[in-house]
Structure 1
Amino acid sequence: MSQKEKNGHANGVMVVKSNSNGQLNLTDGKTEMKKSVGLFSGTALIVGTMIGSGIFISPKGVLEGTGSVAFSLIIWVACGLVSMLGALAYAELGTCVPRSGGEHAYLMYTFGSGKRRFGTVVAFMFDWVGMLIIRPIQFSVMTLSLGTYIAKPFFPNCTDPPLYVVKMFTVLAMLLLAAVNIHSVKLATNLQNVTTVTKLIAICIITLGGLVKICSGDTENITSGFDDTRKDPSLIAIAFYNGLWAYDGWNNLNFITEELKEPEKNLPRSILIGIPLTTIAYFLANVGYFAVMSKEEVLLSHAVAVTWSSYMLGVMSWVMPVFVVLSCLGSANGSLFATGRLCFAAARDNHFPKILSFIQVKRLTPMASILFTVIISMITLIPGDISTLIDFYSFCIWIAYGTTVASLLVLRYTEPKLNRPYKVPLFIPIFVLIMSIYLVVSPIIQTGRITFFYAILFVFSGLFVYIPFIYYNFKVPFLDVFYRRLQILFQLVPPQLT
């Protein structure tokens, strides 16, 4: 047995690869995921993940916090600007640390290299929260919206379909998307491209309908301007939170940097195209809504786009629910695609079981990490109160964003000569860091809800896993044998074998 093979067995894994007959053999081959995502697909991933169910189902959260049409539109644009600045800061990190995994890769490089071994705890804490709270909840909420709209036609006389039916369709949607992402990167990106186009078509329909209404002289709703504008800072903060939730997903392309063609060019280009396009789409969609519906009707509607279509499309109103389903499908697909890469990167750096970084040898996809993500997401469906999970998500994600942007500032100081193909002005990461602090501290001060303290406790509970299993490298007996069985069963190999 070669030294490499011995090392593989010592680490509890086998170096395996399929031969021409599809059999698994020990080999010295090299296996890695292909660079198959170009500028168009990268832009589609950003736009397709950001434009989800929110803009079609219930944009009323922003209106509730602002009270007026004009201020609501300003908040939508402001949220787009904040997302843009955050994404540009991430673009610098993604081009100077060109590894998949997004925040994990940047925190590992900044705090976990060289003699700063314990600094890996920062990256691990993000992985701990990211893989067990942030990313699974994001995927679950997106697929729950999808499951709700699929279930509705089966219960035409019910306002809301039975929850168990919705969750059944949600699980089926999760399994379908898992199969797509495991089958091939090309199939997943093609699905993302198609659903992104359908979302933009839907927004164009809403916008054109609103313009027709305005041109016909019916401008009473849209011209109400700043009437009834709220001045309560806590309510405005809630409006901002709702808007930023709709924009979330702007960082997903950073999770797949190693699969992006020419990342030093296509990462910032995709951001500079995708986020302004999404901002314009959100602004125009809201103009379309307010041109047709009054503020009271928007606030009462649980599915604004569907209500809008009943007013404007008549017998063709069934088209809009189809667009909403496709929109949810595309967002969930983009979320799973990116989350699988986060899990892959975290496991590759020994923050999760090593087998989660293994690649399916025939399809060159991170099969193990995708399956793990879907399983955890299914578990998050068990609690009945999804709003609590969303609170956990929003709170934790801005801790992650703030910490990651802080790492950019640390690198500017510790490694000023680091190659930076794309570099942002210093005020951008400073501004995003200040916004992150505000969005983490503000809900605690303004609401005093104990939910956020539970979130903090969960973040630090990761130390009980990190210290024994990561820092001291404690091994659980019999797990190595189990992992080898899974390797053989699913034909999994470690990445980048040399």
Structure 2
Amino acid sequence: MHQQTEMGEGSIRKRKESQNGSTGYSMDCQTEDQQPVKATVLQKDVGLLTGISMIVGTMIGSGIFISPKAVLLYTGAVGPCLITWAACGVLSTLGALCYAELGTMITKSGGEYPYLMEAFGSLVAYLYSWTTIMVLKPSSFAIITLSFAEYASTPFYPSCTPPLVITKCLSAAAILLIVAVNCLSVKLASYVQNFFTLAKLFILLVIVVAGIVMLAKGHTENLSNAFDGTSTSIGAIGLAFYNGLWAYDGWNQLNFITEELKDPFRNLPLAILIGIPLVSVCYVFVNIAYFTVMTTSELLLSPAVAVTFGDRVLYPLSWIIPLFVVFSTFGSANGSCFTAGRLAYVSGREGHMVKILSFISLRRYTPSPALIFNGVLAIFYIIPTDINTLINYFSFAQWLFYGLTALALIVMRFTRKELHRPVKVPIVIAGLMVLVSCYLVLAPIIDKPDLEYLYCTVFIFSGLLLYYPFIHRKVKWGRSLMNPITMHLQLLLEVVPPEKTE
């Protein structure tokens, strides 16, 4: 229920909602040409191609180009390294299939949020949205744009590292540009995503073809005796999987925009079954290509593996590698922004965040307040000097929520048997994801039990300080404080509450 304040003559008209007898307020858009008016809800503008691009484009960031060496470091040899990359792809696909069942059973945007809400109730869903909206999504957005800024500015400083202030200003500019694109049009953001996804697939194809050529020339010495030196430590193998799965992160992105998918019952599982195996094949073959020109020692010492590969194989065209890394990071940042806005939008709609985040642009049909909020937080996160440390310590929380979501699928098999399931995966797959998630939550903490993990846990549960008075108790003075702020933001941004649809 949206409670709004009177907003001035001529600019707001009272609208009766016949479905539930309540009253709200919406902008009065006066135009000379009377055109059919769309409902003020997010439009179904995302097709299969854009869905695949959203998955592929968000999963493939800078990691595969810069530092795939962590998996090699923990596995100890080429053979188990390649097997780990392939196994991580299989695990990601299995996890995404669980999400396909959930996404076609509960066709709401917001990723894990509506599934946790349905299975475990309001409190668990709120803690997820609090952690993800306030830390995980905006800080990830900031890190991706910082990678973009570093590679984009490097050519202008050939003999030294770009100044930190330049990198951060360029990162902030990228955040503002991406947020503006996403606020202007869903279709424009989709075109941007499709273009940059094709660009990064092109450069991956170049690396793979170059690797095949090197193999044909007989450069196979690094691939022979591929299992010599294999690590037998269970802990080390677990950390190799942890780093590999981090490179695959983003396989759940399409579930954040389910309400905007055309024919989600078909396109959601199809995009998953095309997109994630495509990324998996690319990752394995790109790593094979790296090993055709670099020994394990050289790969571990390389600051940016793809750049080293380009210098040895593609010269004098080696400059295209850093250029396409720029394209890749920009496309990944666009996908991150697109999906983050939808989580904040759904959370605001459900009353777990301030209502203004659930408002939609009257002209553009985009969740612009939610997108702007995510962008503002991301700009704040580029200010600290070591944001990567923050992400590393909070990553265990991401896998905690992945595990809870897989558990939600199992729980609803028994508690919500009446729900229609167009896609139904074997329950053992969900059980496997719960076990993998439990390990990935505990592995980094057991390996290096820093106090920072405790601080992150305290932050997650600090959300309860807001949940109890404002959501559980619904204190009135909170609404009286937000109403004038909501009113002015609504007028400034030209946004309205979403209409209720059945």
Question: TM-score, normalising length from structure 2?
Answer: 0.93
Contact in 2 for aligned 1:17/1:361 (Cα 8 Å): no
> CA shift at 1:384, angstroms?
1.5
How far apart, CA to CA, are the structure 1 residues paired with 2:175 and 2:105?
A: 34
TM superposition shift of 1:383: 2.1
- How far apart in 1 are the matches of 2:454 and 2:234? 22
- C-alpha RMSD over aligned residues: 2.1
Distance 1:389 1:241 in 2: 17
Contact 2:239-2:443 at 8 Å conserved across structures: no
In structure 1, the gaps of 5 or more residues are: 23-27, 112-118
The equivalent of 1:66 in structure 2 is: 75
Task: State yes or no: 1:36 paired with 2:45.
Answer: yes
Which of 148, 163, 175 aligns to 1:146? It is 148
Cα offsets for 1:30-78 (capped at 9, x unmatched): 3111111111110111011101100011111111111111111011111
CA distance in 2, matches of 1:258, 1:310: 45
Report the secondary structure of 1:222's partner residue: coil
Query: What is the CA distance between 1:2 and its match in structure 2?
Result: 5.8
1:125 to 114, 124, 127: 127
Provide, for residues 355-391 of structure 1, a one-character-per-residue CA deviation record: whole Å limited to 9, x for no partner.
1011111111110000000111112222222231121
Tell which deviates more after alignment, 222-231 or 325-334. 222-231
Q: Distance in 1 between matches of 2:466 and 2:14?
A: 34
How far the C-alpha of 1:418 sits from its partner, in A, is: 1.1
Give the equivalent residue in structure 2 for 1:114.
none
Match of 2:27 in 1: 16
Q: C-alpha separation between the residues in 1 aligned to 2:192 and 2:292?
A: 32
For structure 2, list consecutive stretches of 5 or more residues without a partner in the other structure: 1-12
Residue 430 of structure 1: how far off its partner (Å): 0.5
Q: Aligned pair in 2 of structure 1 residues 7, 489: CA closer, same or farther (>3 Å)?
A: farther
Q: Which amino acid aligns with 1:340?
A: G
Mapped pair 1:221 → 2:232: no
Q: CA deviation at 1:29?
A: 7.8
The equivalences for 1:349-368 within 5 A come to 349-368=350-369
Within a 5 Å distance, the mapping from 1:432-447 to structure 2 comes to 432-447=433-448
Q: Deviations over 1:267-301 (max 9, x none)?
A: 00100110000000000100111111111221111
CA contact (8 A) 1:5 1:14 kept: no
Q: Aligned-pair distance for 1:239? A: 1.6
CA shift digits 1:326-360 (9 cap, x unpaired): 11011111111011100100000011110101111
| Alpha-carbon spacing, 1:446–1:19, altered in 2? closer, same or farther (3 Å) | same
Structure 2 counterparts to residues 203-218 of structure 1, below 5 A:
203-218=204-219
Is 2:307–2:318's contact at 8 Å kept on the other side of the alignment? Answer: yes
Do residues 375 (structure 1) and 376 (structure 2) align? yes
**SS of the residue 1:15 aligns to:** strand
Instruction: Answer yes or no: is 1:94 the counterpart of 2:103.
Output: yes
Larger deviation: 295-304 or 226-235? Answer: 226-235
Q: Which moved more, 1:438-447 or 1:68-77?
A: 438-447
SS of 1:73's partner is helix
* Distance across 2 between alignment mates of 1:347 and 1:168: 30
Q: Which residue is equivalent to 2:481?
A: 478
- Which whole-Å CA distance do the structure 1 matches of 2:439 and 2:163 have between them? 38
SS of aligned partner of 2:422: coil
Whether the aligned pair in 2 keeps the contact of 1:45 and 1:252 (CA below 8 Å) is: yes
Give the residue type in structure 1 aligned to 2:418: K
Question: Which residue is 1:77 aligned to?
Answer: 86
What amino acid sits opposite 2:132 in the alignment?
A: G
- CA distance in structure 1 between the aligned counterparts of 2:404 and 2:500, rounded to whole angstroms: 32
Report what 2:199 is aligned to.
198
The count of aligned residue pairs is 484
